[in-house]
Amino acid sequence: MPSPIVFHNATLFDSATGQLRPHATVTVEGERIAGVAFAAGPAKGARGVDLAGRTLLPGLIDGHVHVTATIPNFFQLTLLPQSLIAAQAKDILAGMLMRGFTTVRDAGGADSGLVQAVERGHFIGPRLFIAGRALTQTGGHGDSRPAFFQGNSACICCGAAGMLGSIADGVGEVRRAAREELRNGAHHIKVMAGGGIASPSDPLDGTQYSEEELTAIVQEARAARTYVMAHAYTPESISRAIRCGVRSIEHGNLLDAGTAALMAQEGAFLVPTLATYDSLYRNGARLGWSEQMMAKLELVRGQGVDAIRIARAAGVKIGYGTDLLGEMHADQSLEFTLRTPAMPAAEILRSATAVNAELLGQAGKLGVIAPGATADLLVVDGNPLEDLTLLQEQGRYLPLIMKAGKIHKDELGVNG
């Protein structure tokens, strides 16, 4: 085993408290953090790295991505060969890691093959927690079939490519569909619980799936010792999902105070994705988004910050997500500054570290700099609590990126 690496003279971000702690020494042995001390230097024989007061962050976690969304219209992906999509995803994954995201939660599209490709080192990128295919009712947000297309066993949204949606209706079918995704390696289940922006046939304020169906999906996830994440915008769709046991609400732009109180009471998470609305507002028309889709976008775009304010006031646990597509993945780190009207910088950083780690069931292992945790570490040139733009510009201000003890970017000469 190579000699330990010791980062000293670091200003450590404590993701449990949201505070910066100066004069930190962090020792990495193999894939783990072996020790954290203060006002100490490197042990004899260790590779000492003097950070000269630079900030040391835990690796960032994005709680809502689509790493296989290689073109701006996710539903058109089914027209592309799966092998081509996987090849294009390689660059998306690498870009995420170079922006400091060492872990991501895929919300539909990635399969266990991509998980293995990263784990085995074929692709360089963040570790993946995947949903597989999202469960959608007929005509729901994940049903991309054109009008008058008959049948769903070989439909374009759940055929061989299997990129986004698995159509299932009725309690028996949704149980089978959830079990199928778990069989295929899903770490959690994604369900479409309400209307969406990018889908052609469902109103944004519509509810999707009966409560009996939602409850059955949650039961299957819990039986497999995991949880359900739900796409939902409106108070009605959110509250129905929460009452049925859903753990994580995605987007949630139209959240109200009563629904936020219910979420807090049930210990549910909100994962806002402001970056995608900002990016689509700037690029959607150029990329061919229809007037109908852009109208839906405008309805939710202006309320995302308010939803975060409401959730925060109610004590809801708020994660970090982005939900970007195609070339817009480059906007992943804009989420940090888009949230500043609603959250202080320390809370935003906690969303992308400790809060998302808890959401993933990885508290104490990811999103934290502590003994025994996975050695996912970022060095930042400056103080991100004073300037969150230091986490933008495609990792420009991140001279060192480490994932599980392996250095993927080294501008400090650690490796000689």
Local mean pLDDT, 10-residue blocks, the chain (416 residues): 88 98 96 91 74 97 96 78 93 98 96 97 98 90 65 40 77 97 98 83 84 98 98 97 98 97 98 96 84 83 95 98 96 98 98 98 98 98 98 98 98 86
Q: What digits encode the pLDDT tens for the residues 289-316?
A: 778 778 888 888 989 999 999 999 999 9
Give the separation between CA 162 and CA 401, rounded to whole angstroms: 33
Q: How far is CA 83 from CA 87, 88, 90, 185, in A?
A: 6, 9, 11, 19
Output the pLDDT for position 140.
75
* Cα 231 from chain centroid (whole Å): 13
What whole-number percentage of the chain has pLDDT above 70?
Answer: 92
Tokens of 401: 């990126």
Those residues with Cβ within 8 angstroms of residue 123's Cβ, 6 or more apart along the chain or in another chain: 89, 90, 93, 94, 114, 117
Output the pLDDT for position 154.
35
Tokens of 102: 């060492």
Give the separation between CA 150 and CA 269, rounded to whole angstroms: 37
Output the pLDDT for position 41.
66
Looking at residue 328, its amino acid is M
* Residue ranges of domains in the chain: 5-59+367-410, 60-359
Which pTM was predicted? Answer: 0.94
Give me Rg for the CA atoms of the chain: 21
Tokens of 366: 């990811």
Bridge partners of residue 165, in order along the sequence: 134
Q: Which CATH superfamily is domain 60-359 in?
A: Metal-dependent hydrolases (3.20.20.140)
Instruction: Report CA torsion sign: 265, 266, 271, 272.
Output: negative
Give the separation between CA 132 and CA 155, rounded to whole angstroms: 17
Give the separation between CA 90 and CA 349, rounded to whole angstroms: 26
Buried b or exposed e, range 106-142, using 16+ CB within 10 angstroms: bbbbbbeebbebbeeeebbbbbbbbbbbbbbbebbbb
How large is the greatest C-alpha to C-alpha distance in the chain, in angstroms? 72
Q: Which CATH superfamily is domain 5-59+367-410 in?
A: Urease, subunit C, domain 1 (2.30.40.10)
Q: What digits encode the pLDDT tens for the residues 51-80?
A: 999 999 999 999 999 999 998 876 677 788
Give the separation between CA 164 and CA 169, rounded to whole angstroms: 16
